[in-house]
Amino acid sequence: MSDQNTKDRILAAASRVFCEKGFKATTVRDICAEADANVAAINYHFGDKRKLYYQVLQLWMDQSMKHSTMLEESVQALPPEEKLRLYVRNELYPLCTYDDPEKTKKRQIRLLLEEYVSEDCDPELFKCHDTIEEKVLFPMVRDLLAPLDDPKILEQACMAASGVIVHHFLMIIHYPEGEINSEEQLEFMIDFYTTFILGSLKAIKEKYNEK
């Protein structure tokens, strides 16, 4: 078996074990048993458990962001309101459990959020999401607030628009009622958050344009 096959097998096994147990509770031997590999193979391909974990997190980020790449390409010709709706859909989709009965995505989100707030977090891991906010969210909010162009207000408005979705991510960690368990509920949440953000941006525009 080739080195690449062994590396891929270890990465897939580590993804399953880390997702189930988390970083601290997972041992290298757990991963070896799941991957049918030895410790030397893990050290050779990844260095240590922490570096392997980082590769797993990167894999999860790549999977969750694959729709975002298409989003960036597809929204360019749409009016700002429709761009916002697609942005919200893209952000909420990872919370859907109706096509994920074992709630794998939810466990992955929990671990990604834990990594995001850790003191030694590598910002490169989340750079792809920052890029989507820079290329999709910021121009969209700027268009919705035009002619208001105060950089501080634009930055704060983007943080607020993104923040309501982040709060929903945080909520589902401990409250299952926040999970999106049907397509109908997904459509409701998309409509609700789109309406909420549009209303908030309208109020901001009206208030700060007066000054």
pLDDT of residue 77: 75
Taking residues 94-103, what's their average pLDDT?
Answer: 83
pLDDT band at 211 (very low <50, low <70, confident <90, very high): low
Taking residues 114-134, what's their average pLDDT?
Answer: 85
pLDDT band at 201 (very low <50, low <70, confident <90, very high): very high
Q: What type of residue sits at position 141?
A: V
d(CA 31, CA 35): 6
Structural domains present in the chain: 1-47 (1.10.10.60), 58-209 (1.10.357)
Contact 9, 36 (CB under 8 A): yes
Summarize pLDDT for 46-73 with one digit per residue, the tens: 999 999 999 999 999 888 776 665 566 6
Taking residues 110-137, what's their average pLDDT?
Answer: 85
Residue for token pair 């991963």: 31
Q: What is the DSSP string of 141-201?
A: HHHHHTT---HHHHHHHHHHHHHHHHHHHHHHHH-GGGSB-SHHHHHHHHHHHHHHHHHHH
Res. 19: pLDDT tops 60: yes
pLDDT band at 29 (very low <50, low <70, confident <90, very high): very high
**Closest by CA position to 10, among listed 38, 60, 50:** 38
Which of 85-94, 152-161, 197-206 comes out lowest in average pLDDT? Answer: 85-94
